[in-house]
Amino acid sequence: MPLKPFAEDALRQLAAGGRNFLSDLLRCLRFYSRLPVPVLASEIEPYGAPDFATMPRAVPLAGAIIGAVGALVLAGGHTLGLGAWLCAAFAVASLTLATGAFHEDGLADAADGLGGGATPERRLEIMKDSRIGSFGGAALILAYLLRIGCLAEILARTDPFSAAAALIVVAALSRTAGLVLMTLLPPARVTGSSYVAGQPAAGIVATAWLICGALAVIAGIVAPLPWPGLLLAFVFAGGVAVAMTRLSARLIGGQTGDVGGAIQQLAEIAAYLGLLIAARP
């Protein structure tokens, strides 16, 4: 039996799989950031509502691309001799601009809702309110201070290349951690982006974690970053995701995009702390 038809069919399937993954990656970048993203000719409704049936597998790579924006700013600031703290501050500011404060908005809303409401209904109502309360304001200030402080300390303890690699890995890891919430809990509302996006399959999320792990291994070899620190980063980020998932289940009976944004911010801080524990001065 000739093998050529089988080889051609395998190549067609491989090409189709590559196009589908690229489409998922572009959709993730549109959802998680405000970066200019091209539209493929094969894409149907590229700016439509996100569908998390297959999209999550591309989340780590999308996070790494977003993180690369901050990494370039971090390295550029160091080249100009701005000092570790200013370099980190500009890097975090660039990430805020690149994402349109997407995750920061979720953190503030989640802090206000989970911290200020007495019932699940009231907590969800507060989260939907665009105004920022005392819990949300405090959460944003603390998150920015901790993110900048951790990144500045990593830069001070290592070198610009390693710090930039750490930023990219953590950007991928923190967004992958947010998928835990969507996988384990149903939407808390029957309306809104979480309900429309749906729940990703466990297999798709497992693929995302494998890709995220591969990115970390590459960074550990090339940068290099300390292996114990990378392991702690994954453990701490995963622990934050599980803890916030349990809190969300108890307080609002499900998940929302705001809680997902909060997980990204908290997982980012936790991952940096894991790296810092291993990168002793």
pLDDT digits over 17-60, tens only?
567 889 899 999 999 999 999 887 777 777 776 777 788 999 99
Q: How far apart are CA 53 and CA 104, in angstroms?
A: 25
The pLDDT assigned to 136 comes to: 96
Q: How far apart are CA 21 and CA 142, in angstroms?
A: 36
The pLDDT assigned to 2 comes to: 56
Tell me the two tokens of residue 136: 């949300």
216 Cα distance to chain centroid: 14
Residue 160 and residue 78 in contact, taking contact as beta carbons nearer than 8 Å: yes
- Closest by Cα among 103, 95, 88 to 266: 103
Give average pLDDT by consecutive 10-residue segment, the chain, 281 residues. Answer: 59 63 91 90 73 88 98 97 97 98 96 93 93 95 98 96 98 97 88 68 92 97 94 98 97 94 98 94 74
- Closest by Cα among 192, 189, 275 to 232: 275
* DSSP-derived secondary structure letter, 200: P
2 phi and psi angles, rounded to 5 deg? -65, 140
The strand pairing partners of 255, in sequence order, are 187
Tell me the two tokens of residue 263: 């997980």
CA distances from 105 to 13, 31, 65, 140, 224 (A): 40, 14, 21, 9, 33
pLDDT digits over 203-228, tens only?
899 999 999 999 999 999 999 999 99
* Longest Cα separation, the chain: 72
Q: How far apart are CA 36 and CA 47, in angstroms?
A: 12
CA dihedral 219, 221, 223, 224 (to 10 degrees): 120
The pLDDT assigned to 1 comes to: 46
Residue 160 and residue 75 in contact, taking contact as beta carbons nearer than 8 Å: yes
- Closest by Cα among 198, 176, 172 to 50: 198
